[in-house]
Structures are given as C-alpha cells and as structure tokens.
C-alpha cells in the first residue's frame, strides 16, 4: 500500500507531487494552521477598516461554466489539481478560515474529485467545477462512478462547504489546472525517457553499436550532468564494466559518432526535463490566487495573472519528448535496415520506419501547437507508441540473429515477446501487440524490468526551499 504524502503548503518536493499524481493518499500538514488563521484574522481586520473591493469575474457565472459538456479529465490529473489548490490556499494568503481549508483536505482524503470536462478546460472552468463539488451543487467522481455532489458528500459523511464571498473568490481563482497539466506531462515524459534509455541499449546491442563512445571520462569532460548520467546508464544496461577500455576500430567512424551522439542528445533531454522539473516544483508550491491577503503587513494586493514560467516549462518537456521521438525513429530505421539485410526484406510486413515517421510527425505537430501544457500527455502517448515499435524491432533483430544481450535486458526481451509472441513476424498495422508494449512503456514496466536505477527529472535532490509564512514551526 502506498504511504500517505504529507502535503506541506509551500514546501512539497517534486517527488511527492509525483506520488500524488500516481495515486498516493494525501495527509494535510496541520502545521499550516497558524498561517491560515493569521490570514483569516488579517482579512477580518482589514474588512473592519474598509470595504473589500469587488472581485472581477466573480462566482456569478459558475453555473454556466459547469454546464460544459464533453468527456472528463483523467482522475490522476484532477487529484493533482485539487492537491495543488489545497497547497496554495494552505499558505494563509487568501483569508480562508481553517474550517474551510480542512473541509477541502477532507474532500481530497475521502477520494472525492470534481467532475471536470476535458473539452475547452481552463483554470477558471476547473476551479468552478471544484467549487460546485465542494458546495454540493455540482458533480463528483468517486473511483469511476459519477454522481451528484450532494449525494456523494452525504455518503462520505461530509457537509457541503458554506463559503463567504472572499472564500468563494479565492476558490475560483488560481492557475492550478495549468500547473497540474504541466506536472502530469513531466511525470509521463520521465517514464518515457526511462523506457527510451532501455530501448536505446537494446537497439545498440541488436545492431552491434560499439562501446567506446560510452567511456565515462569522455562524457565527464563535457561537464553536462545529463550526458554523464545517460552514458553511465547505457553502460550499465549493456553490461559494460564501469571503467571499460576502448575497442579496436576507428573512433571517428560513423557508428562511433552515432553512438556518442546518442548519449549526448539523450543527456540533453534529461537536462531539459530536470530544468522543467525545477521550474514546476516552484510553481507547484506557489500561491496563484488573484487576490492575496498579506497578513504580515495587513494589506490586500492583487496576485500575478501571468504564469508564463509554467508554459515555458511545458515547452521544455515538449522539446524533450520530440527529441526522444526523433532519436527512436532513427534507431528504428537502423534496426529495419539490419533486419532487411538479414532476411532480404519482407513486403508483407508494415514498414516500421514509415509507421515511426508517422508518430514522430504527429508529435511535432503537437509540439508546435502552442504552449498549452495539455498537449504533453498525448505527446507522451505517441512517444510510447514509437518506443513500442523500437522494442518490437530490436527484439526481432535479436531473435533473428540469436544475439546475446546483457542480463539486465533479458527480462525486457521476455516482456516484449510475451506481448508479441511472434515478434519476428509481427505486423505493425495490427494494434494488439504494439498497444500492449506501448502500455508497458507508459506504465514504466519495461524500464523497471531492467532492474537498474535510471536517472530522471524527479530523482535528483530537490532544491532547498524556504517557507514564506514565518509562523509555522517544525520540531
């Protein structure tokens, strides 16, 4: 059973956000209470001195927003979205009462989620759906069951929240769905990256790529952390000793350069994902409501509506996914050429290179479609399909040539063969085996089968963060 994640507003590391996205139960840190109560008291004091300025785009349009149709967002994304809202409000800068925040925490802990339509979703629409769910006027998703919020709250022994005007406005302002979508894209891209490393090692074995370009000193001299980590991982996956001497041959030959470039470009992808992860970790711990109650100075100020840092981080993830796809497409072409040379071509079989090129083109179209973070999960899905083709082709070559692989790759080959028992004859136009392998890429099963700790965007130590409130104390 997954351990509870302690959600500490403003101080939650990226690895815990990933755990929440993967379904870990959330426990709200009670040490947030002093800051929340200070914010509520400050708002009461300010209101006693002056009238609260009217909120623009207030909650009057919530009903019409919630009526939007279409399919709903995945539960994992919505769970992350609700946790991000809880963390933002939990920093005590929106004037909410502790009882209100506790109600939101209990709602999440009970496994309840607002039903949010996927079509045309925006931060305001998603937050309006959350508002409606919490107040018993919308719809709630529990597991895979969708039902009226009032009924679901009653069954969970929770009461609908009674909100004052300031709390209503705080609940429907913020940038949580945008941040949640970017984080979801990052977490899916990380799994794709791990699978891509394993696929690259398997393909390199199948087409006899040399070991010389993976010499650790060569990459350490470049000073790029991602490149160093990727080269080390590829060495381990292929079963090379850590020191690893050079092999005889032309170190500047085509195969040498291709293999060296593989580690360099995959390392650059890792650095992009880590850079995006650092930005999104800060965004996840930010306060993004439109109106902030600064209890330290007893004033109300406007928040920042421009959240371009999240959009730029999403662009980095999209670039990394596109590069991973292009590299896989190139390896698939090399594998297909090797297979055709061995069997003299197979006209009855769908061209893996053509199928891979199609997925790569669609990925680029998504990448160029703008900075909307919601494009990232579909891109990760297409990258998983590309890698599924590569795993299938690498297995086909290994089986045809009776290649001996490193022991770390044996279990990977077994899982691929299990999905496509006749890999050597598999037709890529058939969805069956390819879809199963793609699911194992996306779930991380193929990467886990290699039984090695692979570098990722979340695995690196988080940056040191300081709390902004000042009242919370940790023993």
Pairing of strands 5-7, 26-28: parallel
- 198: CB partners within 8 A, 6+ apart: 237, 409, 412, 446, 447, 449, 450, 454
Task: Assign 307 a pLDDT band (cuts: 50, 70, 90).
Answer: confident
Determine the average pLDDT of the residues in 389-411: 85
Q: Give pLDDT, residue 129.
A: 95
pLDDT digits (tens, 9 = 90+) for 57-91: 444 444 444 554 558 899 999 999 999 999 999 99
Beta carbons of 75 and 111 less than 8 angstroms apart? no
Q: Give pLDDT, residue 429.
A: 47
Q: Is the pLDDT of residue 463 over 50?
A: no
Phi/psi at 5 (5° precision): -95, 125
Domain ranges within the chain, ordered by starting residue: 5-174, 183-209+265-290+304-449
Q: Give pLDDT, residue 212.
A: 58
Q: Give pLDDT, residue 348.
A: 47
User: What is the CATH architecture assignment of 5-174?
Assistant: Orthogonal Bundle (1.10)
Which helix (H) or strand (E) segment holds residue 291: the answer is strand 291-294
Q: Give pLDDT, residue 387.
A: 95
Q: Give pLDDT, residue 190.
A: 97
Determine the average pLDDT of the residues in 366-379: 85
- 147: CB partners within 8 A, 6+ apart: 139, 140
Q: Give pLDDT, residue 130.
A: 96
- 406: CB partners within 8 A, 6+ apart: 201, 205, 237, 238, 239
Closest CA to 446 of 422, 407, 404, 413: 413
Q: Give pLDDT, residue 260.
A: 61
Closest CA to 60 of 165, 178, 138: 165
The sign of the CA dihedral 339, 340, 346, 351 is positive
pLDDT digits (tens, 9 = 90+) for 115-165: 999 888 899 999 999 999 999 999 999 877 889 999 999 999 999 999 998
Q: Give pLDDT, residue 383.
A: 94
Task: Assign 462 a pLDDT band (cuts: 50, 70, 90).
Answer: very low
Task: Assign 418 a pLDDT band (cuts: 50, 70, 90).
Answer: confident
pLDDT digits (tens, 9 = 90+) for 168-194: 999 999 999 999 999 999 999 999 999
Q: Is the pLDDT of residue 245 over 70?
A: no
Q: Give pLDDT, residue 217.
A: 64
Select the more confidently predicted residue: 239 or 377: 377
Q: Is the pLDDT of residue 408 over 70?
A: yes
Q: How many CB atoms lie within 10 A of CB 60?
A: 9
Q: Kindly report the CA angle at 435 between 430 and 441, in degrees rounded to 5?
A: 145
CA dihedral 421→424→429→433, nearest 10 degrees, is 20
- 253: CB partners within 8 A, 6+ apart: none
The sign of the CA dihedral 384, 385, 388, 394 is negative
Which helix (H) or strand (E) segment holds residue 53: the answer is none
Q: Give pLDDT, residue 249.
A: 45
Q: Is the pLDDT of residue 262 over 90?
A: no
Select the more confidently predicted residue: 162 or 245: 162
SS3 6: strand
Closest CA to 184 of 378, 463, 387: 378
Per mean pLDDT, which range of 32-41, 239-248, 403-412 is the poorest? Answer: 239-248
pLDDT digits (tens, 9 = 90+) for 9-35: 999 999 999 999 999 999 998 889 999
Phi/psi at 247 (5° precision): -95, 160
- What would the two tokens of residue 453 be? 């700790």
Select the more confidently predicted residue: 465 or 266: 266
User: What is the CATH architecture assignment of 183-209+265-290+304-449?
Assistant: Up-down Bundle (1.20)
> What is the end-to-end Cα distance of the chain in Å, rounded?
27
- What would the two tokens of residue 418 be? 């299990």
Chain-centre distance for alpha carbon 195: 14
Cα 260 from Cα 300, distance rounded (Å): 56
Per mean pLDDT, which range of 203-217, 274-288, 392-406 is the poorest? Answer: 203-217
Q: Give pLDDT, residue 244.
A: 47
Per mean pLDDT, which range of 97-106, 388-397, 413-422 is the poorest? Answer: 413-422
Crossing angle, helix 75-89 and helix 14-21, to 10 degrees? 140
């Amino acid at each position: 059973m997954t351990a509870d994640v302690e959600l500490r507003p403003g101080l939650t590391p990226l690895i815990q956000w990933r755990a929440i996205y993967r379904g870990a139960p959330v426990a709200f840190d009670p040490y947030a209470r002093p800051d929340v109560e200070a914010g509520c008291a400050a708002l009461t004091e300010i209101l006693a001195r002056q009238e609260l300025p009217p909120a623009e785009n207030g909650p009057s349009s919530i009903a019409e927003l919630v009526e939007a149709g279409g399919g709903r967002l995945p539960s994992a994304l919505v769970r992350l979205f609700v946790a991000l809202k809880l963390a933002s409000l939990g920093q005590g800068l929106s004037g909410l009462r502790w009882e209100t925040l506790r109600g939101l925490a209990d709602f999440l802990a009970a496994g309840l989620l607002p039903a949010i339509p996927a079509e045309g979703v925006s931060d305001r629409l998603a937050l309006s759906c959350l508002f409606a769910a919490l107040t018993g006027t919308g719809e709630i998703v529990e597991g895979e069951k969708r039902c009226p919020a009032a009924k679901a709250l009653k069954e969970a022994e929770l009461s609908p929240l009674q909100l004052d005007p300031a709390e209503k406005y705080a609940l429907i302002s913020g940038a949580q769905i945008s941040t949640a979508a970017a984080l979801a894209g990052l977490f899916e891209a990380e799994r794709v990256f791990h699978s891509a490393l394993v696929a690259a090692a398997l393909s390199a074995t199948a087409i006899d790529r040399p070991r010389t370009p993976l010499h650790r000193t060569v990459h350490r001299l470049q000073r790029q952390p991602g490149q160093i980590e990727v080269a080390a991982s590829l060495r381990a996956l292929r079963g090379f000793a850590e020191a690893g001497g050079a092999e005889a041959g032309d170190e500047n030959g085509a195969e040498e350069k291709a293999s060296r470039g593989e580690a360099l470009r995959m390392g650059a992808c890792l650095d992009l994902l880590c850079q995006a992860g650092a930005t999104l970790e800060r965004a996840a711990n930010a306060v993004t409501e439109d109106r902030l109650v600064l209890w330290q100075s007893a004033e109300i100020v406007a928040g920042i509506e421009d959240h371009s840092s999240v959009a730029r981080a999403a662009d980095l993830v999209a670039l990394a996914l596109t590069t991973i796809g292009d590299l896989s497409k190139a390896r698939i072409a090399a594998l297909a050429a090797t297979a055709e040379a061995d069997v003299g071509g197979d006209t009855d079989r769908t061209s893996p290179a053509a199928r891979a090129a199609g997925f790569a083109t669609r990925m680029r179209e998504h990448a160029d479609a703008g900075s909307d973070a919601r494009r990232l999960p579909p891109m990760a899905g297409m990258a998983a399909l590309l890698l599924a083709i590569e795993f299938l082709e690498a297995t086909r070559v290994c089986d045809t040539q009776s290649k001996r692989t490193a022991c770390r790759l044996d279990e990977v080959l077994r899982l691929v063969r299990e999905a496509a028992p006749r890999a050597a004859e598999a037709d890529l136009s058939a969805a069956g085996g390819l879809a199963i392998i793609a699911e194992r890429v996306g779930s991380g099963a193929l990467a886990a089968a290699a039984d090695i700790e692979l570098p990722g965007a979340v695995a690196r130590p988080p940056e040191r963060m300081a709390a902004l409130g000042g009242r919370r104390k940790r023993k």
